[in-house]
Amino acid sequence: MMDKEEHLFEVFENLIRIKNECSCTIFSECGLSDMTVKQIAYLKAIDEQREVTFSRLAEITRNSKPTITEMINKFVRMECVYRERCPDDGRILYIRLTDKGKKIAHAEHNAMRRVIEQMVNSLDEHEMDLLIGILQKVR
């Protein structure tokens, strides 16, 4: 008989597989099945910063400005971001996410929501309460 740790490993591996499938579905919906983890992290950084410039993004990601420019040009071609001039200082360019970029930046969060939705649809109320109680104990 399988020990409990191995059984838990398999259960969580299955949950991660389901979450990854949901993430892949979200990326496919955006027409992007080949996004890298690094690219997703950059889109998340842009999303979190709101008023992010090329210089600031280079600082946050610890990259050079030319690297950031190349990456942003790629994102523009992928229709994930666009450039917007600062209304107060036309020399400043902000990097903004398109709706598609926002969807990708939020993909992991939304994938977890889909996994939870599957759990809610698979478990009755008592089982959900039990699961919540057990998971709250894990620190």
Tens of pLDDT, residues 40-73: 889 999 999 888 999 999 999 999 999 999 999 9
From residue 131, alpha-carbon distances to 80, 116, 124 in Å are 37, 11, 11
User: What is the band of 101 on the pLDDT scale with cuts at 50, 70, 90?
Assistant: very high
Helices vs strands, H then E, count in the chain: 7, 3
Helix (H) or strand (E) holding 134: helix 125-137
Q: Residues 22, 7: contact at Cβ < 8 Å?
A: no
Averaged pLDDT of the chain: 88
Q: What is the pLDDT of residue 14?
A: 86
Taking domain 17-137, whether its CATH number is 1.10.10.10 is answered by: yes
